[in-house]
Structure formats: C-alpha cells, structure tokens
Amino acid sequence: MENSTSSPLASYERIRNPADISVIVIYFVLVMGVGLWAMFSTNRGTVGGFFLAGRNMVWWPIGASLFASNIGSGHFVGLAGTGAASGIATGAFEWNALVMVVVLGWVFVPIYIKAGVVTMPEYLRKRFGGKRIQIYLSVLSVLLYIFTKISADIFSGAIFINLALGLDLYLAIFILLAITALYTITGGLAAVIYTDTLQTLIMLVGSFILTGFAFHEVGGYEAFMEKYMEAIPTLISDANTTINEECYKPRSDSFHIFRDPLKGDLPWPGLIFGMSIIALWYWCTDQVIVQRCLSAKNMSHVKAGCILCGYMKLLPMFFMVMTGMISRILYTDKVACVLPSECEKYCGTRVGCTNIAYPTLVMELLPVGLRGLMLSVMMASLMSSLTSIFNSASTLFTMDIYTKIRKRASERELMIAGRMFILILIGISIAWVPLVQSAQGGQLFDYIQSITSYLGPPIAAVFLLAVFWKRVTEPGAFWGLILGFLVGVARMVTEFAYGSGSCMEPTNCPTIICGVHYLYFAIILFVFSVIIIVAVSLFTKPIPDVHLYRLCWSLRNSKEERIDLDAGVEEIQEAPEDTIETEVSEENKGCFRRGFDLFCGLDQQKGPKMTEEEEAAMKQKLTDTSEKPLWRKVVNINSIILLAVAVFCHAYFA
C-alpha cells in the first residue's frame, strides 16, 4: 500500500536489474530459436505449407495455438481492467468458448475440410457461387482485424512496455512489430503454431505464479471476496464535485455472472444469447481460428485440439479477471480512482485507470526475476496473437483478393504478395495507434466487444444458415450481409460520435440508439440478418443439390461428384504461366538473392510434377474426415465432459 503514495514514475526503474533483463533476453532467444527451427524444418515454399503448415499438425500445438491466438495482451489488460471495475461477469465471455470450441470441432471444421477450402470467404464462394460475397467478406475481415484485434493488442502491449521499460510508446511498438513480423513473414504458419505453443506454456506458468502471489497477498479466497467489496478509493470529492456512490463502490452483484436483465452492466440474456452469437462468429467462422484447425493431420487431432483449448479457456477467469480484482484491493486509489484529476495523475487519462490493473500488479507485487518472466508473458501473448492475425490476414489477402487481380499468378508470386501485404498491414496498424490511444480509459475492452457485436452477427448468420439450410441462395446471403452491416455501422458511428461516456460524465447519445445494450443489439442484428437472408432466399431460385454435395450439413456424407458453382470460371485461371517465370538457376544467383530466397523459403526445389492419380489421392487426403473408432470415442467422451464442466462453472458462479 505504501508504494501508492510515492511517485508513480519509479515502476520502470524496477526492471533495470540483471535478473529481470536476463530472463527477458533468454525468452527472446528461445522464441527466435523455435521460430527458426520451425522455419527450416517445415515446408513453407508452397501456399499450402506457408498458410496451412502443410496439413500435418498434431493436436497439442493446435490447442495451444488456438488458445494463444485468442488470448492477446488485450485480454490481460482488458479482462483484468473490467474485472477491477465490475467483478467477475466478464469471465463468462471466456467461458462461452467452452461450448463454441465443441461446435467448431464437431460441426464446422468437418464441413470446411470436406469442402476443401483454405479461407472462410472461399467456403462461401463454393457454397453460393459468385465472387462478390467472397471479396466483401475478405475486405471486411481484414478491416475488423485492424480495428479490433491488432490495434487493441498493440495498445495494451504498449501500456505494459511503457510501465515496465519507460520507453516511448511508438518506439516500443516499432520494436515489437519488427520482431513479430520477422518470423511471420519468414516462417509461415508452422513457425507461428510452434512459437504459439512455447508462448502458451510461458503465459500459463507466468500468470499462474502471479495469481498465486496475488491470492497470498490478499489472504485467500474468502478474504478476497470480503476485501473486494470494501475496495473504495479515499478521494471521492474535490472542491466542486461530489461523485455518485455507484461510481466508486464495487457493484453489489460483483460476484455473480448472471446480472439483472435491465439494469445489469452485462445482462444475463445478453450474456447467454448475444455473447453466443459473437462467439459463433469468432470461434467458428473467423480465419485466425479456423486456419489453426485446418492445419491438423486428421479430424481426431482437430477435435482433441479444440478440447484442449476449451479446458485452457477455463483459466482466464482466475488468472486475469480475479487478479484484476485483487489489483483493485491492493492499489485501490490508483486502480479504482474516480476523480478525473486523480486518474490523469496515475495513468494519463481522465476516464479511469482500471486498464493498468494487471501491469501495476506485475510491477509492484512480483520479486526480481519473476517480473522479467511476466513481462515476457505479456510480450508472448501480444506477439502470438499478432503473428496469428498477420498470417491469417495475409492468407485472406493472397487467396481471396490478390488472385482476383492477378488471375494467373504463379505460386512464387503469391508467396511474395502475401509477405508484402504483412508489411503494409503493419504500416496501417502503427498509423491506427494514436486513435486507439485516444479511445483510452475503461473503454478498451468494451470497445473490442462492442465493435464485434455491431459487425459480427450478420457474418455469423450467413455461415450458420449456409451450413444448416441448403435453401439459402447467393442473393439472400449477400443482402443479409450488406443490410446487416449497414445497420451495425449506423449504431457504431452514432456511438463513437457521441462517445460512450463514463459514470462521472454520462454520454448524451439518444436512448433509443445507445440505450440498447450492445449484447442485446447483437441479438437484434442477428435476427434481422436471418430474416433478410431467409426472405430473399425464398424469393430466388434454389441452388441444385449437385452443387452442394459436402458443403452443407444435410449433404455432408454424400459420395457423389460435386460440380462447383463457378467451375467454368475456375478452369481458365488454373494454368499459371510457367513459361513466363524464368527460374534463375542456382549457379547464376548472387549471394544476396540466395540469402533472400533461403530467408523467405522460396529456395525449396520444385518436386516432380504429380501424376493425375497422385493428385487425386492428395486431394482425397486433404478432404478426408474419417477417424479411427477408438479415438473418435475418446474425443467424444471428452467433449461431453467439457460441456458438463462449462455448465457447472456457469451454475456455480451464477
């Protein structure tokens, strides 16, 4: 407690000791080592190798990578911050995933694999024909990555580095992005998945240690529940303002997940239904997540990876939300400040300082050496979610947008285009940081969740109906996406124009627009999109079954030959211009060129051309979803246990 009175600037002096610095250095060396190993031991010279890790990943790296690409530093900062502000309910966002990973592994991935696709928009193109949906979805996904994931993660990572090293925000961001981009651009998906696995391990160990220290400091779980309710800041009024009680007192329902449907900050119907819609979009149709699953050896590995990820998603409630709440108990005046002048003194923003709950705990509570470890954990979570997003965004760009511009691009050209696009993305992300910085305060995590609930539901609706109702047609899906998008954007723009306000300075946005909680809005938007899709589809000509074999649930097991809706168009594009691409022979390459090729994995020799039988067999392997009966039983039993655990957790904390 005594630290909170001394000058808050000293925090980065603490990390400047040999122990912490060496831990951080060892960590970076390890990550680079694993990245390089994956880079040289896997095939990344082909599109399948770079973007899908050559389709031979086993279950544990997949589970770890799913978890790591989901938990970014935005989670550490955001979940802990919201926990400090309003109690455990945000943890339920994480628990929703327990159900969704099962839906992903048992329902969606089998269909994607049978369809033989690399990206999500590509699935929609096979399902509906036409190009407009595919291109629209690719562009929207890349924009969503920039606005929500990349910017929020970079920002929260920067808060940390700023507190820890006292570096300038932009310098810190630049260093981080450089390292991250380096192994994404060079290594492809296999490097990303293996480094993710290492980072998941470090993340779990580090946050476990911190949680232990935190609970020890408070005096156990019972004491934690008591003290949290009493964590009220000392300064609650200055000369001219006295602040409402509800602004600084912990909520009476802090320890309940399910809150009042009208007055609660996370109303329970919204948490169950609205959150499930957003989670359906995120877990089952999002490129970053699905790409991990598509790289698996076979179906059993996909399911086992999903289950592993599900069990790991139980942890953020204890490791992040509750540690954030403990931070409020230990550093009440700092984390739970209410007076705008006080907050500005502690963390430079007038809205509130709950965002610094987790970083403060790390800097103040941990002993030397462990502090360096936790800083590495933050870097790990930041870098792993960024690498995942960079790899997936470049996949979307290369496979869905670039191939439309350059119809006959060779494989080598596609690889280079994907890597150049990552560089452009990084440029845009850095340019976006000042905007995120100004959307600072308690708004960061809400900002991510609310943007996804304005833009995600139409996409979720289209995928859900595309898989389960074969009567959906292309115009139906297209207009559902477009009109849903317009409604969502209308709400988003109004809310940003008026600002989301805080308890001290409420927003003056009209109640009819902003009065609807964003989780309720997600439900309304989803239902609206479904109605549009169904209505338009019923007025248009149905797609014949011959185009839908193995693309939707009712026809998933059919053995007949599928005629793709755009088969005619595709044939023309297939033959790339082998003639034009003059391969420079190895002897004629300069040192620089050889180094560049080796670095980017473009030096790998082309194998002999496959015969038609071999190609058919290869295709068969890639679209095969059969499982060994024993392993099928094992994963099915585990999935039932996982769902039971999910129900139990919700009930226990309800």
**What phi and psi values does residue 57 have, to the nearest 5 degrees?**
-80, 145
Q: What is the pLDDT of residue 477?
A: 94
DSSP per-residue codes, 549-562: TTTSGGGTT--SPP
Look at residue 9 in the predicted model and tell me its pLDDT. Answer: 44
268 CB neighbour count, 10 Å cutoff: 18
pLDDT of 621 reads: 66
> Cβ distance 147 to 436 under 8 Å?
no
Q: Please give the Cα distance from 106 to 638 (Å, whole number).
A: 12
The Cα 363–Cα 372 span in angstroms is: 9
Task: Provide the angle, in degrees to the nearest 10, between the axes of the packed helices 169-218 and 357-365.
Answer: 70
| Tens of pLDDT, residues 285-299 | 887 788 888 888 888
Do residues 283 and 67 lie in contact, with contact meaning Cβ atoms separated by under 8 Å? no
What share of the chain has pLDDT > 70, as a percent?
80
Token pair belonging to 494: 């109004």
pLDDT at 480: 94
User: What type of residue sits at position 639?
Assistant: S
Phi, psi dihedrals of residue 242, rounded to the nearest 5°: -120, 135
| pLDDT recorded at residue 10 | 56
Q: What is the mean pLDDT of the chain?
A: 79
Q: What is the DSSP string of 50-116?
A: HHHGGG-B-HHHHHHHHHHHHS-HHHHHHHHHHHHHH-GGGHHHHHHHHHHHHHIIIIIHHHHHHHT
Largest CA distance in the chain: 84
What's the rounded Cα separation, in Å, for the pair 266 and 195?
35
Owner of token pair 């232990």: 212
Tens digits of residue pLDDT in 547-564: 888 888 888 888 888 887
Tokens of 241: 């303002």
Residue of higher predicted confidence among 56 and 639: 639
623, pLDDT greater than 80: no
According to the model, what pLDDT value does residue 362 have?
Answer: 85
For residue 127, which of 435, 423, 566, 639 has the smallest C-alpha distance?
566
Work out the pLDDT band at 186, boundaries 50, 70, 90.
Answer: low
pLDDT at 43: 63
pLDDT at 4: 41
Spatial distance between the Cα atoms of 557 and 546, rounded to a whole number of angstroms: 13
Which of 435-439, 536-540, 650-654 holds the top average pLDDT? Answer: 536-540
Q: pLDDT tens digit string along 488-498?
A: 999 888 877 77
**Mean pLDDT of the 397-423 span:** 83
d(CA 70, CA 644): 22
Given a cut of 50, is residue 576 above it in pLDDT? no
Q: Is the pLDDT of residue 581 over 50?
A: no
- Cα→Cα distances 548→81, 124, 468, 471, 616, Å: 46, 11, 12, 10, 20
User: Which is nearest to 189 in space by CA: 50, 47, 48, 390?
Assistant: 50
Q: How high is the pLDDT of residue 30? A: 80
Rounded-to-integer distance, Cα 356 and Cα 84, Å = 10
Q: Token pair for residue 310?
A: 């599900």
125-145 residues labelled b (16+ CB within 10 A) or e (exposed):
bbbbbbeebbebbbebbbebb
Q: Which residue has the higher pLDDT, 139 or 480?
A: 480
Which three-class secondary structure state does DSSP give residue 471?
coil
Nearest CA to 207 out of 412, 68, 87 is that of 68
pLDDT tens digits along 230-239:
888 887 777 6
Lowest mean pLDDT among 5-9, 348-352, 491-495: 5-9
Task: Kindly state the average pLDDT of the residues 312-324.
Answer: 90
Q: Which residues of 501-537 are buried (b: 16+ CB within 10 A; e: fewer)?
A: ebebeeeebeeeebeebbbbbbbebbebbbebbbebb
Per-residue pLDDT band at 513 (split at 50, 70, 90): confident
Looking at residue 525, its pLDDT comes to 95
**Quick check: 190 pLDDT over 80?**
no
Overall average pLDDT of the 596-604 stretch: 58
- Split at pLDDT 50, 70, 90, the class of 2 is very low
Confidence of residue 311 (pLDDT cuts 50, 70, 90): very high
Instruction: Place 337 in a pLDDT band, splitting at 50, 70 and 90.
Output: confident
Contacting residues for 338 by C-beta, under 8 A, at least 6 apart: 233, 235, 236, 243, 247, 248, 352, 503, 504
Of the listed ranges 278-282, 591-595, 620-624, the one predicted with least confidence: 591-595
- Model pLDDT, residue 625: 72
Confidence bin at 520 (pLDDT 50/70/90):
very high
Share of the chain above pLDDT 90, in %: 13
- Write a three-state SS string for 564-583: CCCHHHHHHHHCCCCCCCCC
pLDDT of res. 628: 83
- State residue 309's pLDDT score: 92
pLDDT of residue 461: 95
Strands, E, within 122-280: which ranges? 237-238, 241-242
Query: What is the C-alpha to C-alpha distance for residues 6 and 320, in angstroms, rounded to an integer?
Result: 26
Predicted local distance difference test score (pLDDT) of residue 530? 96
Q: Determine the Cα–Cα distance for residues 169 and 355; give it in Å rounded to an integer.
A: 16
Distance CA 117, CA 122 (A): 6
Residue 79 pLDDT grade (very low, low, confident, very high; cuts 50, 70, 90): confident
**Tell me, what's the pLDDT at 582?**
44
Question: Is 98 or 73 the better-scoring residue by pLDDT?
Answer: 98
